[in-house]
Structure 1
Amino acid sequence: MTQWNDADLAEVGAAEELDLESERADGTLRDPVTMCVVRAGDHVYVPSVKGTGGRWYRGTQSRHRGRVDAGGVRRDVTFRPADPGEYAAVDAAYREKYGRYTSIVEHVLTDRARESTLRLEPR
């Protein structure tokens, strides 16, 4: 597993939004989807407010690979399911970063969204 370097981790973690392109089975990238992103510790996370049935989430499952662009950082990534032990830290990061947007926090802090949370690992 490759780790984020400190500069990229700081930039992506501070970005208000992230563009995510998942890789199709043939290796081409899907159109980007814009979403909220948080940093918790040395990791970066995105949940699907529609859970595992959400369209962009389903797209990440064909190859578990893609590309993200946030805060001026563009990286190829691997999508890994967050461990349930990480949920509390991710929830706290969402409350801290997006707390002023009640509708975002309400949609992200649900069991359905938590269970679809992906950890983005650079590759």
Structure 2
Amino acid sequence: MTGWTEDELDTIGGSEEVGISSRRRDRSLRPYVTIWVVRVGDDLYVRSAYGPDNPWFVRAKASGSGRIRAGGIERDVSFAEPGADAHASIDAAYHAKYDRHGPRIVGTVVGPQVVATTLRLEPTRAG
């Protein structure tokens, strides 16, 4: 575990979107999917807007690792469960960053229905 640098947190957390890719069994990367990302403190989070059956989310959960890219930064990550106490802050971060898109869209990534589809991105060494 190398941890996020402040520059990575600022750049990735400040990006409108992140490309996210999960690893296949042979460790190769699947095609990137574009999703929203938020920063809460020194952590980065993503949520499946369309539930636990969304294909990118299913693959991320199954593989446990992948890669993200945003703002010129590309980093290998593991996909971890956030702490139960993090969800209110994650909701607040999504509202602060994305409310301009309207409640119908932001409503897909906030609230109790997305707790189970939240992943914390943990930076890892390449490979």
Give me the TM-score of the superposition, normalised by structure 1.
0.94
User: Partner of 2:33 in structure 1?
Assistant: 33
Q: Note if contact 1:2-1:121 (Cα within 8 Å) is conserved in structure 2.
A: no
Q: Structure 1 stretches (4+) deviating beyond 4 angstroms?
A: none
Aligned residues: 123
Q: Structure 1: where are the runs of 5+ without partners? A: none
Q: Distance in 1 between matches of 2:84 and 2:33?
A: 25
What amino acid is the match of 1:109? V
SS in 2 for 1:77: strand
1:113 Cα deviation after fit:
1.9
SS in 1 for 2:45: strand
SS in 2 for 1:51: coil
Question: RMSD of the TM alignment (CA)?
Answer: 1.2
**Aligned-residue identity in percent:** 41
User: Partner of 2:42 in structure 1?
Assistant: 42
Q: Structure 2: where are the runs of 5+ without partners? A: none
1:7 Cα deviation after fit:
0.5
Give me the TM-score of the superposition, normalised by structure 2.
0.91
1:79 Cα deviation after fit:
0.4
SS in 2 for 1:115: helix
What amino acid is the match of 1:107? T
User: Partner of 2:85 in structure 1?
Assistant: 85
